[in-house]
């Protein structure tokens, strides 16, 4: 009898938590994409039969004549999928006060201050105040101050592979870009954010890199427990999606580095220094209008300047690592791989590099990078075709009426909004022949015709990624050095045509980014 009772209770739990919610949109009589228990609309991703990016794009295309449709996220929670740029503008900019926050389906509160207090996970006025406090640290002039650190790491990277090519048996050296650029990005962030010198190509087992990998590559079991049984993780003191040992490592690194700098009066113009300046109230907003390329522009954040403590500083530094470690390396991988696929584009970029250096008397600087229009067009087109983060989200903070199909419905506080960035970027009505890699889409003549918010690789509105400038400048510097020094070619192991991996949750190629490097005659 006890077994039967437990069985009935189990069935009831499964029905009420995982099956009943699938009727949500049907009961409202609005257009929706039918889902499955637990996995929602991501069954093929869950079965590793299709990449998350490709399945998300399919959801975007399911109702081509609707501005928004109902869907189901992981865990069968109903969500609203946005597929109209005007509606996206309404939500992320015009009516932003109704959608100020991200959902917390991934990073749950209560595990560690690194997660709870970083800019991405903060909500409401706490987010506004933190954004207003941090924004002066990411102006163009502050990025100018980081240029030399990025450039030094890039030259170190190129020098390493130049020696490898010289000693190669063949006329070229085959490399897998993801492994290489992940280590390079690790060194950039270690230096420019935490003030730590790394050489992850020569010292593959350095602690910063190993801890970074543990923090950035989320274990599936942690994601499931964090979403469905967070009490188990808390009871066992294992941390949330990020392992406890990683959180302790990065916090101690920030605390110790900060203490040494203050004790010995060390000033190093990196992100940690800017955060310390913000803590002291000495960080000045020196933002001016400048050429930002086509990455996107954030709306001005209205908030009070927040008094930061050491936990706040550690949380923001860790967010910068977590946000850039994987996504920036993916941007670099796809850009270089597309240049290997399109040697005519690569040759034109090389000509721009040579001409630019000639005009600047061989000097490579922050200003030189920002003068290179074709380089900007190439990076922008990569972000369009292969956005490292193919999705973003919002959550309603108060009742909001919205038209879904022919019905006006009310979204209650806490209702999730899904923005399929990849859908907008691959929609042929905005970008004809979207599978083609064509930097000319973003030349001076064409880019003014691009519909606002159909290009949003870093999000939109006030919650646009604060590190967008850092990521793009980072990518441009290494691409400059790579193409200046190497001809990048396809090899036998190259994935042609490019196919996204169904085995990884990240936007990466099946079987990796294999290319060949040939030294140029300088």
State the binding site for heme.
465
For 10, residues 6+ apart whose C-beta sits below 8 A from its C-beta are none
Hey, how many other C-beta atoms are within 10 angstroms of the C-beta on 3? Answer: 7
Determine the Cα angle at 61 with ends 399 and 394, to 5°: 30
Residue 275 to residue 309: CA distance in whole angstroms: 10
Q: Are 292 and 471 in contact (CB under 8 A)?
A: no
H-helix or E-strand spanning residue 141: helix 140-166
CB under 8 A, 24+ apart: contacts of 39-43: 39/74, 39/76, 40/71, 40/72, 40/73, 40/74, 40/75, 40/76, 40/77, 41/71, 41/72, 41/73, 42/73, 42/74
- Give the integer Cα–Cα distance in Å for 262 and 275: 13
Can the peptide bond before residue 312 be classed as cis, meaning omega within 30 degrees of 0?
Answer: no
Token pair for 513: 């980014």
Query: Residues forming the annotated binding site?
Result: 465
Q: Which residues of 387-399 are buried (b: 16+ CB within 10 A; e: fewer)?
A: bbbbebbbbbbee
If you ran DSSP here, which 8-state letter would residue 32 be given?
Answer: B
- Tokens, residue 67: 């501005």
End-to-end CA distance of the chain: 83
Apex 511 CA angle, 505 and 514, nearest 5: 120
Helix (H), strand (E) at residue 211: helix 207-216
């Amino acid at each position: 009898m006890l077994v039967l009772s437990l069985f009935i209770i189990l069935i009831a739990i499964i029905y009420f938590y995982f099956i009943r919610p699938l009727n949500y949109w049907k009961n409202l009589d609005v257009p929706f994409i039918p889902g499955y228990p637990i996995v929602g609309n991501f069954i093929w991703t869950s079965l590793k039969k299709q990449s998350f990016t490709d399945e998300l794009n399919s959801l975007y295309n399911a109702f081509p004549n609707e501005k928004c449709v109902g869907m189901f996220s992981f865990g069968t929670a109903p969500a609203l999928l946005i597929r109209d740029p005007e509606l996206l503008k309404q939500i992320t900019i015009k009516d932003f006060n109704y959608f100020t926050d991200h959902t917390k389906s991934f990073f749950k509160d209560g595990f560690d201050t690194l997660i709870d207090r970083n800019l991405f996970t903060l909500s409401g006025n706490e987010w506004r105040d933190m954004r207003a406090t941090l924004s002066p640290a990411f102006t163009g002039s502050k990025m100018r101050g980081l240029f030399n650190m990025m450039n030094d790491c890039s030259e170190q990277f190129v020098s390493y592979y130049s020696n490898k090519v010289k000693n190669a048996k063949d006329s070229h050296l085959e490399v897998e870009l993801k492994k290489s650029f992940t280590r390079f990005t690790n060194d950039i962030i270690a230096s420019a954010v935490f003030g730590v010198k790394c050489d992850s190509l020569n010292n593959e087992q350095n602690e910063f890199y190993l801890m970074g990998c543990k923090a950035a590559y989320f274990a599936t079991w942690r994601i499931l427990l964090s979403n469905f049984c967070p009490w188990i993780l808390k009871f066992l003191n294992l941390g949330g999606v990020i392992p406890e040992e990683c959180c302790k490592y990065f916090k101690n690194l920030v605390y110790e580095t900060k203490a040494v700098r203050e004790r010995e009066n060390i000033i190093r113009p990196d992100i940690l220094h800017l955060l310390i300046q913000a803590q002291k109230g000495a960080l000045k907003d020196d933002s001016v209008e400048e050429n930002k390329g086509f990455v996107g522009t954030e709306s001005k954040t209205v908030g009070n300047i927040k008094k930061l403590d050491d936990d706040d500083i550690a949380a923001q530094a860790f967010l910068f690592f977590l946000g850039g470690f994987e996504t920036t390396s993916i941007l670099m991988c796809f850009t270089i791989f597309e240049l290997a696929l399109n040697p005519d584009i690569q040759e034109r970029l090389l000509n721009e590099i040579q001409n630019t250096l000639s005009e600047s008397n061989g000097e490579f600087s922050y200003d030189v990078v920002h003068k290179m229009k074709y380089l900007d067009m190439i990076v922008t087109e990569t972000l369009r075709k292969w956005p490292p983060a193919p999705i973003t989200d919002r959550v309603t903070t108060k009742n909001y009426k919205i038209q879904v199909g022919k019905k006006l419905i009310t979204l209650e506080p806490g209702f999730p909004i899904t923005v399929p960035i990849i859908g907008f970027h691959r929609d042929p009505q905005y970008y004809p022949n979207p599978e083609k890699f064509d930097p000319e889409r973003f030349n001076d003549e064409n880019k003014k015709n691009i519909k606002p918010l159909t290009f949003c690789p870093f999000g939109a509105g006030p919650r646009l990624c604060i590190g967008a400038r850092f990521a793009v400048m980072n990518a441009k510097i290494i691409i400059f050095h790579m193409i200046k020094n190497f001809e990048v070619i396809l090899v036998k192991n190259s994935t042609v045509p490019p196919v996204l991996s169904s085995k990884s949750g990240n936007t990466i190629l099946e079987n990796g980014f294999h290319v060949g490097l040939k030294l140029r005659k300088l």
